[in-house]
Copies of this chain bind each other. A is one copy, B any other.
């Protein structure tokens, strides 16, 4: 892993690394850019021009992406008294839910492999060990991941 042990010297370095990793998880890069920036910006709420200037993205990108992120509950709008502009900030706990969903995808495979197994059994004569192995893994995760995450929530009052 080419990942340095040092602290970042620029906020943009953090945003880059963060967004690349979010992209690797299967999401648009701009998601990670906005999320990453909203994690380290000052103040925690940011306007359209704030996002446009700091991330070098267009107004339309800000509009479209924030709309999607609002729908998915990742961020929320903030209105400041006496100000016309909308500000956006990370919704509390949203990133944890985001990662939780990420892992739930893995768990979906439990259901899929289960049905695949039933098909293979119905058909007969098919070697089941391949599917059984991966299915039992997902079954195990489906069983234990939620309680592991719950344990974290309890520890941190979330």
Where the two chains meet, the residues of A that have a C-beta atom closer than 8 Å to any C-beta of B are: 1, 3-4, 6-9, 11, 14, 17-18, 21, 23-27, 36, 38-40, 42-44, 90, 92-93, 95-96, 99, 102-103, 105-106, 108-109, 111-113, 115-116, 118-120, 122-123, 125-127, 130-131, 133-134, 136-138, 140-141, 144-145, 148, 152, 155-156, 158
Contacts and interface: CB of A to CB of B under 8 A. Distances in A.
A134 to B, nearest CB: 5
Contacts of A8: 115-116, 118-119
B131 A40 contact: yes
Contact of A103 (B103, B111, B119): B103
Secondary structure of the A contact surface, majority rule: helix
State the copy count for this chain: 2
Nearest to A144: B148
A109 B140 contact: no
A127 B46 CA distance: 13
A57 to B, nearest CB: 20
A11 B118 CA distance: 11
B106 A43 contact: no
Contacts of A4: 115
